[in-house]
Chain A
Amino acid sequence: MITIHLEPDNEVIELHGTKTVLAVLNRLKLRSTMAIVARDGQLLTPDRRLNPGETLMVRKVTSAG
């Protein structure tokens, strides 16, 4: 299981069976340039692999305005 902190929505989402950053983005219906993804304060590219139990920050980049 991967825990996602979604910003700026301030939601916590749990995902099962996602093994890469790209898979997480797909599940969240986000294209790779629509959000930045970080683990332990480090940015990750979509090809990075994830391990069960990890927590990610996913921040959507589109600002209204």
Chain B
Amino acid sequence: MKCSRCKQLACVSLPSHHSGFCAECYPIFFTRQVETAIRREKMFTHDERILVALSGGKDSLSLMLELAFQGYDVTGLHIDLGIPGSSEKARAKVENFCTAHGLSLQVLEMEKEGLPIPDIKEHVKRPVCSVCGRIKRHHFNRIALEGGYDALATGHNLDDEVARLFANTLRWDTAYLSDQGPVLPARQGFTRKVKPLFRLSEFETANYAFLKDIEIHSDPCPYASGASFTSHKELWGELEHRSPGQKFQFYQGFLKNGKPAFAAREQEIGEPLAPCIECGSPTSAGTCSVCRIKAAVRESKAKAAEA
């Protein structure tokens, strides 16, 4: 196969784009896709300050590198979850990566926040991943707001977005369907959230990460289950194989035709938000879920100490 740009031997084949690229031209393709995403969705400008959530995976590190390359004012934020045998490695990769590329990084330690993830696993009955996800989103949002950032960028790619949309659709979860998308504008208590990689598949970011020599954190979290999510991705991989481009069409179609309808409905039936009485984060439940989790862990620990 030949490169669609320069006709040399290609190293990446992209059926959904009917094209292939060599190692020199592939990053140009990648850059164009990210530029298009930022421009068309009006994500942010070169005058704004962007906080980038860095897990240590290929997507978040690729995003950070690419935004810095495009001249955006980016700062990384890594959350050290305090999971023995896993979090130290992820953190070290993020730190080494940022040092190697001269990128600024902030690290939040859940241990110091009094809520390391192993405590949640031990003391909270709900699935650890849903709680962990909530806690991460809570702190990313809080730090973006407190630090005066204009937007919070995450490395979600097209496969993540489609898998999530698919799961939300299977449940007809109108609340989630009303605001899933590449941009979530800032509103009371929430920073603007953007996903500049939403046009790129997992395969496309993996190729970019490889060509850019990004050392990725690929040891799975010991608590990971992710089974249904992964099986949805496989299902979509199969559909995409049969008709290349279908994934992107499904997602774009949702943004254009599905989302507005759900948003209108949510306006009617959605619950209003107010600041959490303990921490001030927006919530529809008086005390926000993170403060409730903290209280539950505290209680359970106290009980365990008595016994």
User: Scoring B residues 80 to 114 as 1 if CB is less than 8 Å from chain A, else 0, what string do you get?
Assistant: 00000000000000000000000000000000000
Among A31, A33, A45, A65, point to the contact of B226 (Cβ < 8 A). A65
**Given A45-B13, A59-B210, A62-B233, A34-B203 contact (CB < 8 Å):** yes
Q: How far is the CB of A18 from chain B (nearest CB, A)?
A: 18
A50 at the interface (CB under 8 A from B): no
CB of A54 closer than 8 Å to a CB of B: no
Contact of A38 among B10, B57, B210 (CB under 8 A): B210
Name the contact of A46 in the complex, choosing from B13, B57, B210, B234 (C-beta under 8 A): B13
Q: Which of these, A36, A38, A45, A65, contacts B20 with CB under 8 Å?
A: A45
If over half of B's interface residues share one DSSP class (helix, strand or loop), that class is named, otherwise mixed; here it is helix
Q: Number of B interface residues, CB 8 Å? A: 38
A61 CB contact (under 8 Å) in B20, B203, B241: B203
- Is A63 an interface residue when CB atoms closer than 8 A count as contact? yes
User: Chain A residues near B240 (CB, 8 Å)?
Assistant: 31, 33
The complex places the Cα of A47 from the Cα of B57 at a distance, in Å, of 28
Q: Which residue of B lies closest to A47 (CB)?
A: B1
Size of A's binding interface in residues, CB under 8 A: 20
CB pair B202 A61 closer than 8 Å: yes
- Is residue A43 within 8 Å, beta carbon to beta carbon, of the partner chain? yes
Residues 36-56 of chain B: 1 if any A CB is under 8 Å from the residue's CB, otherwise 0?
A: 000000000000000000010
Q: CA A47 – CA B12 in complex, angstroms? A: 11
The answer to whether A43 and B234 touch (CB under 8 A), given A7-B218, A33-B203, A61-B203, is no
Q: Is the CB of A43 within 8 A of B58?
A: no
Q: A61-B203, A62-B233, A64-B226 are in contact. Are A33 and B15 (CB under 8 A)?
A: yes
> From residue A57, how far is it (CB to closest CB) to chain B in Å?
9
Tell me whether B211 and A33 are in contact (CB under 8 A): no
On whether the beta carbons of A32 and B210 are closer than 8 Å, the reply is no
> Is A44 among interface residues, defined by CB-CB distance under 8 A?
yes
Query: Using an 8 Å CB-CB cutoff, how does the interface string of B140-170 with A read, 1 for contact, 0 for none?
Result: 0000000000000000000110000000000
Given contacts A45-B11, A45-B13, A45-B20, contact A63 B234 (CB under 8 A): no
Whether, in the assembled complex, A51 has its beta carbon less than 8 Å from a beta carbon of chain B, the answer is no
CB-nearest residue of chain A to B227? A64
Q: How far is the CA of A12 from the CA of B283 in the complex (A)?
A: 49
Which 9 pairs between the two chains have the least Cβ-Cβ distance? A64-B226, A43-B11, A61-B206, A8-B218, A45-B13, A33-B203, A31-B241, A45-B1, A61-B202
27 contacts between A and B (CB under 8 A): A7-B218, A8-B219, A8-B220, A31-B238, A31-B241, A32-B13, A33-B203, A33-B240, A33-B241, A34-B203, A36-B203, A42-B23, A43-B11, A43-B12, A43-B211, A45-B10, A45-B13, A47-B1, A47-B13, A61-B206, A62-B159, A62-B202, A63-B57, A63-B59, A63-B202, A65-B160, A65-B224
Q: A31-B237, A33-B201, A43-B23 are in contact. List 8 more A-B contacts (CB 8 A).
A: A33-B240, A45-B12, A62-B159, A62-B202, A62-B234, A65-B57, A65-B160, A65-B229
